[in-house]
């Protein structure tokens, strides 16, 4: 199992990961480091554990908001799909009515033509 060194708030941490995930883990570590540094800049040095907890809470809050927005988009997508299906059904029904009206008109014209032919 590969080991990756991650630097967070000036401290190195060694993290195990699956084969091929090394770059991804490094990117995640850089993201966490950036958030910890931002928090450290606003609240000062309050200890690694507290900074990591605060960063975790901030990231969790952002993730929660992102998941809620994703759910909203999924709901909107389902509504749009439903509306599209209803519109397609209405269009099909309109086409059927139009075809029926054209057939009726053609039958009437044929009947009129037949009467005129015999007159």
List, in sequence order, every beta strand (DSSP E) within 1-119: 3-8, 11-16
Nearest to 29 by CA among 44, 43, 45, 9: 9
The pLDDT assigned to 43 comes to: 86
Question: What pLDDT shows up at residue 107?
Answer: 94
Task: Read off the pLDDT of residues 43-58 as tens digits, 9 standing for 90 and up.
Answer: 877 888 999 999 999 9
Give the start-to-end residue ranges of the domains of the chain: 3-118
- Residue in 65, 7, 75 with CA at minimum distance from that of residue 36: 7
Does 4 have pLDDT greater than 90?
Answer: yes
Return the percentage of the chain with pLDDT > 70, whole number.
Answer: 100
pLDDT of residue 118: 83
Q: For the chain, where are the alpha helices, taking DSSP H only?
A: 22-43, 48-118
48-72 average pLDDT score:
95
Q: Identify the weakest region by mean pLDDT among 21-25, 31-35, 113-117.
A: 113-117
> Reduced to 3 states, what is the DSSP secondary structure of residue 20?
coil
Backbone φ, ψ for residue 7 (5° rounding): -105, 120
Q: Is the pLDDT of residue 101 over 90?
A: yes
pTM of the model: 0.66
């Amino acid at each position: 199992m590969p080991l990756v060194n991650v630097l967070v708030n000036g401290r190195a941490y060694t993290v195990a990961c699956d084969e091929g995930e090394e770059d991804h883990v490094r990117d995640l570590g850089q993201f966490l480091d950036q958030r910890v540094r931002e928090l450290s800049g606003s609240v000062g040095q309050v200890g690694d554990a507290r900074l990591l907890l605060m960063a975790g809470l901030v990231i969790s809050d952002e993730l929660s908001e992102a998941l809620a927005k994703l759910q909203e988009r999924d709901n909107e997508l389902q509504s749009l799909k439903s509306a599209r299906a209803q519109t397609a059904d209405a269009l099909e029904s309109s086409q059927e009515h139009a075809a029926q009206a054209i057939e009726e008109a053609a039958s009437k014209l044929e009947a009129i033509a037949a009467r005129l032919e015999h007159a």
